[in-house]
Structure 1
Amino acid sequence: MAKLQSPIKEKFENLVNKSNEQFENGKHNDSIITLEEAWDLLPEPKGVYSEESFYLVKDIIDTCFILKDYKKAKEWSNKIYITGLARKDTGKKEFISGKVAFELGEVEVAKEFFDIANKKSEGRCFEGEDPKYLRYFKS
């Protein structure tokens, strides 16, 4: 797993902190824009910066959900597969894609993603999530 080096590391951390502050102040769109700037700072291949790339994309998607901007969430859920390359694969990426597909009304696609996530996580992917996803998956 690669580590970000100075001065990129400091710039990246400053942007993430700025985004967190914007988020806490209810400026969700600004928070996403700032996280996108942080994404652009990550050198290629971005996925070797496992923790930074995965959590940054996850935070963007989570914020898109707050804004109910599922189209933008889908753009980023497609990118999540090039993040966190050294992370243990627990189905988190597929679960996120399933949630996005579900909210966009792509229910058959959602069910496929939930099935993969369920198998990889041995059912744990639904813990702490909105129960509507598990209800749909079991239907």
Structure 2
Amino acid sequence: MAVLDKKLQDEIETLTDLAYEKFLNNEIEESFILSEQAWDLYPDPKENWNEAYNTASSIVDDCLKIKDFERAKKWLNNMIMVNNNLHLNDEDLNFYLGKYFFEIGDYLKAKEEWDNAVSLAGYRVFEGEDPRYIDFYRHPEKYIKN
């Protein structure tokens, strides 16, 4: 895994911080524009940069908060692309996929992804997350109807 040039990393962090501020101020589209600009600064191929995975996961978090599932899917694909190359975040990626599937109501796929995440990292993957996720994982029958 390569290390980003300090100046480039600082530029990316500045854009990411501005995107976060915009999101908090409910300037959603401006936030996503800044996040995309940060993503675009990663040298090609982007899948060589662990930091690119982190940028994409932050965008997915924001997308899920506002229920923009189409945009979330695009950024999940970017996370998959980076992870397929670096294999640094398998359980994290499984957890994100589970969150996505849970939020769109595909509970069977959510359970499958979270089974994978838990098998790799245990229940700690649910720490600090929406309590609905662990509730679902422990009691899927409340959500999945035959």
Quick check: TM above 0.5? yes
Q: Is residue 95–residue 114 contact of structure 2 (8 Å, CA) maintained in 1?
A: yes
User: Residue in 1 aligned with 2:118?
Assistant: 118
Aligned residue pairs: how many? 137
User: Residue in 2 aligned with 1:81?
Assistant: 80
* Structure 1 residue 126, shift from structure 2 partner: 1.4
Structure 1: unaligned runs, 5 residues or longer: none
Cα shift readout 1:42-66 (whole Å, capped 9, x = no counterpart): 112223221x212211110111122
TM superposition score normalised by structure 1: 0.84
Kindly indicate which of the two structures has a greater share of residues assigned to helix: 2
Q: Is residue 64–residue 103 contact of structure 2 (8 Å, CA) maintained in 1?
A: no
Amino acid at match of 1:93: L
Cα shift readout 1:78-137 (whole Å, capped 9, x = no counterpart): 2212236263x4611110111101111111111110110111112211122122222222
* Structure 1 residue 24, shift from structure 2 partner: 3.2
Cα shift readout 1:18-38 (whole Å, capped 9, x = no counterpart): 213312322122112211121
Root mean square deviation of aligned Cα: 2.1
Spell out the pairing of 1:1-139 with structure 2 (5 A cutoff).
1-5=1-5, 8-50=8-50, 52-83=51-82, 85=86, 87=88, 89=89, 91-138=91-138, 139=140
Identity of aligned residues (%): 35
